[in-house]
A = this chain, B = another copy of it.
Amino acid sequence: MKGKKSEHTEISEVGEFGLIESLTSGIKTINKSTKLGVGDDAAVIKAAKTTVVTTDMLVEGVHFNMMYCPLKHLGYKAAVVNFSDVYAMNAKPEQITVSIAVSDKYALEDLEDLYEGLLLACEVYGVDLVGGDTTSSLSGLIISITAIGSADAKNITYRSGAKPNDIICVTGDLGSSYMGLQLLEREKEVFKVNPKSQPDFSGFEYLLERQLKPEARKDVFEFFAEAGIVPTSMIDISDGLSSEMLHICNKSQCGCSIYEEKIPIDMATANAAEEMNLDTTTCALNGGEDYELLFTISQADYEKIKEVSGISLIGHINEKETGCMLVTRNGSLVPLLAQGWNSFKE
């Protein structure tokens, strides 16, 4: 698609069928379960295993801002956040459908960029794009993705399986995507005042990447299979650690203790938080969009996981009556609160 960036083809020139043809003509499917992809009333899938299905909608101006979100990255992220939900079931994503509504400010080339990102994510994660819908919108861009995954029924991991004494684990580090967003928002404000300003993100590249091009934890899903671990419960962190931990405790009818000092935080996150006068722990607890996996394992699996790099043991599950608590660095107990992002309130 190189060299197309300067072209501008009105979508109305090619029409819906021309658009679909242009976006999907090069797609090849790779999963054995994909019997038919784009091009009929429906895609056809023959899965030998159990199927999981998840869906997500991203709205311009609510979930992303075209001022700092390149369309290729947006497509990549839109796919990845759905894969993350499939991994959170301990399942392998295999197919996605993609529905897009666009206003006339977008050209065919813009949607080609978006699809380039979508298809790159599909390639990286071994997923087939098997269908979708494209239509016009009165304002902005809306992307709705449904991801389908497969797993042996016995491996599927729900939010509801945590038991007292289970160990609470989290992958990667938390709060970095949120700090990336804060940096982008800050530069946007600077840019509004002085359009000639050049953003300076040096030292914070990792935070921007976490926000603009997050990855789902395919590697952790694969590690579970190799190590013979089936977590007792699992969820991916999209709304912040606090909010997700409360979901697990609620569905599992249990309480928890999470140790502030054990929460994994990258140095860049801490530095950026300090620079912007934000509390690092609050960012890690409530920032969201980490797309890390939060899961619980039984004590029996402790030895298998205790020294795995990139997995932090941050607390344990308790009886319901003890509530859901953060144990702060100074040893006091603070109830966990769901203060994660809410599209209806911000």
Chain A residues packing against B (C-beta within 8 Å): 11-12, 15-17, 19, 35-36, 39-47, 50-57, 59-63, 85-86, 88-89, 91, 95, 97, 99-101, 130-133, 135-140, 142, 144, 146-149, 153, 156, 158-160, 234-236, 251, 338, 342-345
Q: Give the complex CA separation of A95 and B54 in angstroms.
A: 12
- Selected contact of A251 from candidates B39, B138, B234, CB within 8 Å: B39
**Chain B, Cβ-Cβ closest to A238:** B41
A21 to chain B, nearest CB (A): 11
**Chain B, Cβ-Cβ closest to A146:** B146
**Chain B, Cβ-Cβ closest to A98:** B55
Contacts of A62 in B (CB 8 A): 101, 135-138
Protomer copies: 2
Q: Which of A52, A56, A62 has the most CB of B within 10 A?
A: A52
Q: Please determine whether A53 and B133 come into contact, CB atoms closer than 8 angstroms.
A: no
Q: Give the complex CA separation of A60 and B60 in angstroms.
A: 16
Q: Please determine whether A88 and B41 come into contact, CB atoms closer than 8 angstroms.
A: yes
Q: Please determine whether B44 and A50 come into contact, CB atoms closer than 8 angstroms.
A: yes
Q: Please determine whether A41 and B54 come into contact, CB atoms closer than 8 angstroms.
A: yes
Q: Please determine whether B97 and A55 come into contact, CB atoms closer than 8 angstroms.
A: yes
9 closest A-B pairs by CB: A144-B144, A42-B54, A42-B52, A41-B88, A57-B99, A146-B146, A45-B51, A55-B97, A41-B85
Q: Give the complex CA separation of A95 and B115 in angstroms.
A: 27
Q: Please determine whether B59 and A344 come into contact, CB atoms closer than 8 angstroms.
A: no
Q: Please determine whether A53 and B343 come into contact, CB atoms closer than 8 angstroms.
A: no
Q: Please determine whether B46 and A158 come into contact, CB atoms closer than 8 angstroms.
A: no
Q: Please determine whether B53 and A43 come into contact, CB atoms closer than 8 angstroms.
A: yes
A106 to chain B, nearest CB (A): 11
Q: Please determine whether A46 and B42 come into contact, CB atoms closer than 8 angstroms.
A: no
Q: Please determine whether B51 and A44 come into contact, CB atoms closer than 8 angstroms.
A: yes
Q: Give the complex CA separation of A267 and B47 in angstroms.
A: 47
A303 to chain B, nearest CB (A): 27
